[in-house]
Structure 1
């Protein structure tokens, strides 16, 4: 595409848009067309982060004392701003991340809904009163904000994930320092702009862009940081968890290796569609994506045939094209990683029955495109069956019983999301008890979660301390005091 003048965007610190201390920038590139530079952003330093933290710390007490209705008013106004610009922001998100346009617009709309949801829930989130034997004493708890919260977010849902962290942090009276992924900083700018336009006071929300290797430690180890909420890889989450001090809370939502179990009585056509939707939407780049299908041997051939047929119908291309169902991978690192795992699967002896090719011809020549890959004859011990690939690769594992299926499903280090396809209600209920996953589904994709329901994983998919989303998403951002008042 014809490259117009590239805009440079700034950090947002203490209510002002400012350059980084070193005045260096980096470029955000369109993964569908690497000749298209989406924008230039600040390559921040630790000094920039410290300024942001200090601004948040200075603003904390006044924001904590701000009435809940005033905080809610700001969130609602920011939501209205986002809703008024869905078309623009959706297109920008598609250019920046690669996802299809309908998904990008839906994510912006979901972000506005999240802000509105917490604007309401935050008004009734309070402590408890406890009965006691002394008629001249009241005993109750009161919830208070923690202080300065670091919000560190990924590129795959680069506005909705930040919103489900920032909104509950703000409504409960905390101040925030927000660092988005360097692959998707523009849509993060738009979220901060909406809050700024909505009238959020100086220092309450601060925003820095740049490399995690340069700014990450300060966001975790600075003594003013009271909590870190992070979504990303398990390795990065473990590093943050180790570095955080005893007095710094951590909330980690990490990787997944999510199974879809297909039983003999399943609607096979429906099961195949669930696998395609869960495994290949967002080009497989969802932490809850379906990366393993564990299917009963008696229906395996039929399932694989339908899976291939449905995958063949998925148009690959630029997400701005309305016919596209599968866009590019988000960056060159992702492309190399996915192609590497496809080669690993072949070397391990799995059979690549569909796709897996690096697309480089004509309209694909300047993008990070790969065909969705389907492997059969996969052993549960293979790396493609154990390790998170984070791309459009499905490993089909054949079993002869539910007992084998559940054992294989649980025999990984992750426990984020899982689903079963069956008409047997009793078996489905048993599955919900026995599966080791934080999000459990029956006859639905492994992907997707409601904004008003808790979200999080087990095992190495999460710290399993505080859940995100829903009303319980407010708990991470508050501390409890127990108060005894005698008369």
Structure 2
């Protein structure tokens, strides 16, 4: 019998009032059931919000260092469970063990970071205009927040939303993605073991329409933080806006890496390959466009095609170079985009098919694909694929490369490979993205600096991570003290 996982509400592990559950299966072997989860209702969600609201005052008035102690203890527990969490993440989401282990460590580091940040929360003191007066600000928790997270980083993203929310004194309801909710459940289990008071953090699984929709429009929720697709994020933001609820949405990307003539082409191939095909291309920051100067275009295309063809595909638990897609629908979407690219006139250099053989029959596997001869007006150059597909575009100048890079609706992450310092600086000035990198892949983020996008990649209201991660979860009160 597969393990049955319950919701976590008001410090108790409870079943949904619906009495129904859904299965989560291993994307590398769909005969392997990772667990059964609650198909929760709006009533279940209301109960979780109510528990969070009831717990808010006590948690908000708990001294910051004490809140930090709970986060630090959570990090210690997660560290003890690192190997188990890594294997669980791989089984439910499909990442290789190396990729999953890195993500679990990131969640641990995030909790340690915000455990210390809980001590620093305060305000600023300013010089008043008059005498016998003090003028200062206080940072106060927002209240009760809803956290809606995706499947592609199923422990890191819940961690980078939950940890700052709790550090700042908020209570929370977490709704993880249904494709990969297990490691988030274990995160709540660690918080419970660490001594988090009842009701401060709650966990509810179920559909986006039933649970996510209820959270986004709930009158008792003071803030909604969402990560996922642009289409869903737009709906979430609009629902929250009806009540003037504070909202933060980080969404899709169509991230470019520009390769200039001064670049070491072999190094550029490695940078682009890692950004495009790591985590099976299932990252909002994945490189999906290589914009290459004509002087090195042919050499780059040959190199990146060889790179993609050499990638070992297999079950994440065997720690290959690349694991499967998370679901059949994600696999089908990737295959469809490869077909669209060739129908639009692009050249399929390698990959883009399901690998053959018994080892791949029960999983959602796809060969990493490289398509060349792409122009900026093609769908493969404009739409987010969310799979291991790289479109290669040719340009004749630096100016043209920036124009092409910016010629999309998204603006999340972008990079350039160059040895020209002027190009590097000009790129970071002119690129329309929230993250700009030089001689580095588009994926990979430091946890102590802000993260977020421009244009359709974000509501561009608040950033996540670092000090900025606390801004969303706090309000500022200005105090005029006369005596």
Is 1:373 aligned with 2:369?
Answer: yes
Cα deviations by residue, 1:314-340 (Å, 9 ceiling, x for unpaired): 100001113x01100010110111011
Determine the structure 2 residue equivalent to 1:317: 314
CA apart distance, 1:360: 4.3
Is 1:268 aligned with 2:247?
Answer: no
Which of the residues 303, 308, 312 maps onto 2:300?
303
Is 1:161 aligned with 2:177?
Answer: no
CA contact (8 A) 1:56 1:203 kept: yes
CA contact (8 A) 1:226 1:247 kept: no
| Structure 1 residues 66-465: aligned runs within 5 Å | 66-244=62-240, 245-322=242-319, 324-465=320-461
Secondary structure in structure 2 of the residue aligned to 1:23:
coil
Task: Kindly report the root-mean-square deviation, in angstroms, between the aligned alpha carbons of the 2 structures.
Answer: 0.8
Distance 1:376 1:51 in 2: 52
CA contact (8 A) 1:229 1:250 kept: yes
CA contact (8 A) 1:38 1:96 kept: yes
Determine the structure 1 residue equivalent to 2:467: 471
Secondary structure in structure 2 of the residue aligned to 1:369:
coil
CA contact (8 A) 1:432 1:440 kept: yes
CA contact (8 A) 1:122 1:474 kept: no
Distance 2:246 2:350 in 1: 45
Cα deviations by residue, 1:435-469 (Å, 9 ceiling, x for unpaired): 00000000000001101111000011011111001
Distance 1:9 1:52 in 2: 16
Gaps of 5+ in 2: none
Secondary structure in structure 2 of the residue aligned to 1:229:
strand
CA apart distance, 1:310: 1.7
Secondary structure in structure 2 of the residue aligned to 1:151:
strand
Moved more, 138-147 or 354-363: 354-363
CA apart distance, 1:218: 1.1
CA contact (8 A) 1:360 1:366 kept: no
Distance 1:22 1:121 in 2: 40
Secondary structure in structure 1 of the residue aligned to 2:13:
strand
CA contact (8 A) 2:92 2:180 kept: yes
Cα deviations by residue, 1:327-363 (Å, 9 ceiling, x for unpaired): 0001011011101101100110000011101224210
TM score, norm. by length of structure 1: 0.98
Distance 1:127 1:482 in 2: 9
Secondary structure in structure 2 of the residue aligned to 1:450:
coil
Secondary structure in structure 1 of the residue aligned to 2:119:
helix
CA contact (8 A) 1:279 1:393 kept: yes
Cα deviations by residue, 1:8-56 (Å, 9 ceiling, x for unpaired): 0000000000000011000001000000000000000000000000000
CA contact (8 A) 2:217 2:243 kept: no
Secondary structure in structure 1 of the residue aligned to 2:318:
coil
CA contact (8 A) 2:350 2:368 kept: yes
Cα deviations by residue, 1:226-271 (Å, 9 ceiling, x for unpaired): 0000000000000011111343110100000000000001010000
Secondary structure in structure 1 of the residue aligned to 2:470:
helix
CA contact (8 A) 2:3 2:36 kept: yes
CA contact (8 A) 2:262 2:419 kept: yes
Distance 2:28 2:440 in 1: 30
Distance 2:318 2:470 in 1: 38
CA apart distance, 1:106: 1.4
Distance 2:254 2:18 in 1: 40
Detail structure 1 runs of 4+ shifted over 4 Å in the superposition. none
TM score, norm. by length of structure 2: 0.99
CA apart distance, 1:306: 1.1
Distance 1:211 1:397 in 2: 38
CA apart distance, 1:128: 1.0
